[in-house]
Amino acid sequence: DAGVTQSPTHLIKTRGQHVTLRCSPISGHKSVSWYQQVLGQGPQFIFQYYEKEERGRGNFPDRFSARQFPNYSSELNVNALLLGDSALYLCASSPRTGETYEQYFGPGTRLTVT
C-alpha cells in the first residue's frame, strides 16, 4: 500500500511570495495534519483536518491556511513568505481523530525562502 505522499519534494521561493504544498493521505485515512520542522528542531503542529473540517490549529500566523478535499487530500498555503518559513513541511495521515496514537508521516516538502 502507498504511504503518505507529498508534493513537491523541494521548493525555492522568494520573500513575499505564496506557496501551496500538497498531501495525499494513506488510502482509507480521513485525517490529515500539517507540521513544520525547522532544522535541528522537532516538528511543530500547524493544522489538523478530519473529514474536511478543521480540528486543530497551532500557534502560527494567519498567513498559514489549509483545507481538505472530498478525497481527503489536503493543501497547505502560506502567504507573504518570510525567511523564517524555511523548513521541512510534514503531512501526517491518521485513520481517525481523537483516541488514537496512529499518525504516519510523509517524506515532507523542503521549502527554502530566499
Partner 1 sequence: QKEVEQDPGPLSVPEGAIVSLNCTYSNSAFQYFMWYRQYSRKGPELLMYTYSSGNKEDGRFTAQVDKSSKYISLFIRDSQPSDSATYLCAMKKRSGPGGGNKLTFGTGTQLKVEL
What are the cell numbers at 106?
510523509
CA atoms within 13 A on the CB side of 1: 9
Q: For residues 8 and 16, which CB has a smaller minimum distance to partner 1 in the complex?
A: 8
Give yes or no for residue 84 binding partner 1 (CB under 8 A): no
Residue 24 CB, nearest distance to partner 1 (Å)? 14
Taking the C-alpha atoms of residue 111 and residue 68, their distance in angstroms, rounded to an integer, is 21
Residue 102 CB, nearest distance to partner 1 (Å)? 8
x/- binding map, residues 21-60, to partner 1, per CB under 8 A? ----------x-x-x----xxxxxx--x-x----xx-x--
Give me the DSSP letters along 42-99. Answer: --EEEEEEETTEEEEE-S--TTEEEEE-TTS-EEEEE-S--GGG-EEEEEEEESSSSS
Q: For residues 64 and 105, which CB has a smaller minimum distance to partner 1 in the complex?
A: 105
At which residue does the C-alpha cell 510523509 appear? 106
Q: Which residues bind partner 1 (CB under 8 A)?
A: 4, 31, 33, 35, 40-45, 48, 50, 55-56, 58, 88, 90, 92, 94, 97-108, 110
